[in-house]
């Protein structure tokens, strides 16, 4: 995803927090921020009204391959489990 599109739907405070981080630290920080979100605290790093169908659709298309890989495995029968 381009940095221009990130600026459109991410809060300024979040962008300032991650701008000097390397990729690993950014992932850890982002995960912690998302887990700590609370509607009463208004601490969501995503500007939700900015998330359009086009943006969300692009996200789903990029994630599709990972989901397909999960379902490529043949389900085991009860006899195979034993």
pLDDT in tens, 42-81: 899 988 888 788 877 877 777 655 555 555 555 555 565 5
Q: Report how far residue 5's alpha carbon sits from residue 50's, in angstroms, rounded to the nearest whole number.
A: 10
The number of beta carbons lying within 10 Å of the beta carbon of residue 43 is 14
Q: Please compute the mean of the pLDDT values over residues 20-42 and round it to a whole number.
A: 92
Cα–Cα–Cα angle for 75, 81, 82, nearest 5°?
A: 160
């Amino acid at each position: 995803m381009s940095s221009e599109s990130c600026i459109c739907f991410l809060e300024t405070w979040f962008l300032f927090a991650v701008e000097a981080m390397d990729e690993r630290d950014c992932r850890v920080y982002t995960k912690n921020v998302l887990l700590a979100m609370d509607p009463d605290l208004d601490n969501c790093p995503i500007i939700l009204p900015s998330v359009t169908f086009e943006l969300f659709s692009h996200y789903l298309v990029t994630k599709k391959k990972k989901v397909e890989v999960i379902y490529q495995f043949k389900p085991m029968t009860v006899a195979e489990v034993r």
